Chains A and B, each alone.
Chain A
Amino acid sequence: MLKNITLGQYFPGDTIVHRLDPRVKLVLTIVYIAALFSAQGIWGYVLMFAVLVTCFALSRIPVKTVLRGVRPILIIIIFTAVLNIFFTDGETVLFQAWRITITQEGLYAAAFMVTRLFMLITGTFLLTYTTSPIALTDGLELLLNPLKKIRLPIHELAMMMSIALRFIPTLIEETGKIMQAQKARGADFESGGLIKRARAVLPLIIPLFISAFRRADELAIAMESRCYHGGEGRTRMKVLKTQARDYMALFGGAAVLAAVIILRRLAL
């Protein structure tokens, strides 16, 4: 049961979006968010929506997967919509009963907010859908590299992240084993109220922690034995190389941002 958990939400593939340099994808995601928040007026949104659809089409991520990703935040989206509909002041009153007033402006505001949220979430998901956690960590480390100059432990943070990713499946497997061992001795994880269930997890957590600490200890010795001595003087087997498509993607991102700002100026 626990074994089938997918790591992050990476959706393996070999499309142009998958092959883009992770650094470029990280930067583009930030550009995308900036453009989305700069967009105003119907044409700005139409442009952003077209960009989003094109990217998803290029990455060949099924629409179903995208919608499933949105489901957990559906409540927030609905809540935002309701708030905007009822609490936006406006002149064109469409409906009024008791103390509830719905205005045309409110409807517009709600529609824009919902589209913006929806596009924000699906757009940033595209990054995690098309980039493996390892590539993402590597990309982050390289992007943040300049911060080493102000003594931020960037290499160490990236190493911790990649080791954490490496051990997630191992620890999940271990949790399953401990669960079975405790069940065999009569532990009950399924019934009872919240407090009872929380207490039932305790005999699961403690052995898991003890074993995790032991693993950490052994891993540290194994890493030292393989000449690990921090990031200094360390090289990489796979060097990320920006290629023509990466520059084209960056150029495209800049063009979209510029277009959105121009549309806003023109007040379209």
Chain B
Amino acid sequence: MENHANIIKTEHLVFSYDQADGALPKTVLRGVDLEIEKGTFVAILGHNGSGKSTLARHFNAVLLPSGGRVLIAGDDTADESLVIEIRRRVGMVFQNPDNQIVASVVEEDVAFAPENLGFPPEEIRNRVDEALKTVGMYEYRLHAPHLLSGGQKQRIAIAGVLAMHPECIVFDEPTAMLDPRGRESIVKIIRDLRDNHGVTVVLITHHMEETIDADRIIVMSDGEIIMDGSPKEVFVDIDTLRKTGLDGPETVTLLHDLKADGFNLPLDALTIDECAEAIYASLREQRSEKEE
């Protein structure tokens, strides 16, 4: 038996596609080796065109590698007979909620995936109700999706994926089109899924703040992984991060700038509370030095 502690594993994954005008094929991923452990919360960062979304689409066999392999719990995504099971295991939530809702009634939409999987009606009903309750949209089950807010629509999309009972959910910039309140509700759900439902979460995002309580951050640039570690490890190295066109969370940026001005501060205070605490401690230290 293979070790399936890793839900997702890529082995020297290469992806390139032919360009329309007959130019040289464009290589988007240049040999990505990655293992994602079950039950973890992994964030993937990178600027536009870094290949992060392309990488994500390999996780549920929407794209197939040009070279190398992608294994989902040991199953090769290139094996056509396993595609449906792989897609059930690894659900995907996309950026634009409008373009992933299929039906004109909320509960019908959530039922779409289990209907495709051929479950009996009672089982579908249970899964739909359970998924809608998990994202807090049960009261809206008979509403028309186009009358809901962006955040609510995105919650419906998440419920639609949850109804498959996936082991892992890949979120591809799920908050990019939402207002701050909608974004907050989605981030809360993502956290809840990892903490209370045992779902492995892969979050692709631009917003550094959303990655602070990830177990692991992967930074991509130009089709390669250039940083990989805990949020503290990644954000402390803010210079490398900035070279890829990204920036740290506001807290780290603030600490970094203060440090450059001569304050004695740690860089790994990621949350607002930790950051405030660190600045307070530093200021007290300075004062006691002066008093001496």
Q: Which residues of chain A have a CB within 8 Å of any CB of chain B?
A: 133-134, 162-163, 165-166, 169-170, 173, 214-215, 218-219, 221-229, 233-239
Contact = CB atoms under 8 A, between A and B. Distances in A.
Interface in B79-124: 84, 87-88, 91-92, 94, 96, 98-105, 107-108, 111-121, 124
Instruction: Identify which of A169, A235, A236, A238 gathers the most chain B CB atoms within 10 Å of its CB.
Output: A235
Given A134-B104, A227-B113, A222 B87 contact: no
B94 A226 contact: no
Given A229-B84, A234-B115, A235-B124, A224 B103 contact: no
B30 interface: no
Contacts of A173: 146
Interface residues of B, number: 41
A221 B63 CA distance: 10
Given A134-B105, A162-B104, A218-B100, A227 B116 contact: yes
B116 A222 contact: no
A238 B121 CA distance: 7
Contacts of B84: 227, 229
B188 to A, nearest CB: 23
A166 B101 contact: yes
A235 B161 CA distance: 17
| Residue from A222, A235, A238 having most chain B Cβ neighbours under 10 A | A222
Contacts of A234: 115-116, 118
Nearest to B116: A227
Given A224-B87, A227-B87, A237 B108 contact: yes
Given A236-B121, A238-B121, A219 B100 contact: yes
B62 interface: yes
A172 B50 CA distance: 34
Contacts of B161: 225-226
Given A165-B104, A218-B99, A224 B112 contact: no
A236 B115 contact: yes
Interface of B: 57, 60, 62, 84, 87-88, 91-92, 94, 96, 98-105, 107-108, 111-121, 124-125, 128, 144-146, 157, 160-161, 164
A194 B110 CA distance: 45
B60 A235 contact: no
B87 A237 contact: no
Contact of A225 (B91, B125, B145): B91
B160 A226 contact: yes
A228 B160 CA distance: 12
A226 B112 contact: yes
A134 B164 CA distance: 23
Contacts of B108: 134, 237-238
B151 to A, nearest CB: 17
A145 B119 CA distance: 20
Given A222-B94, A225-B92, A227-B87, A237 B114 contact: yes
Nearest to A218: B99
Nearest to B101: A166
B121 A235 contact: yes
Contacts of B91: 225-226
A254 B120 CA distance: 34
Given A134-B108, A227-B84, A239 B121 contact: yes
Nearest to A211: B99
Contacts of A236: 111, 115, 121, 124
A136 to B, nearest CB: 12
A144 B150 CA distance: 37
Given A169-B146, A218-B96, A225-B62, A237 B116 contact: no
B170 to A, nearest CB: 9
B106 to A, nearest CB: 12
A16 to B, nearest CB: 20
What 8 A-B pairs are tightest by C-beta distance, nearest first?
Answer: A222-B100, A218-B99, A226-B113, A237-B111, A237-B124, A169-B146, A227-B116, A225-B92
A223 B88 CA distance: 12
- Please indicate which of the listed interface residues B96, B102, B113 has the most CB atoms of chain A within 10 Å of its own CB: B102
A14 to B, nearest CB: 13
Given A221-B94, A226-B164, A227-B87, A237 B115 contact: yes
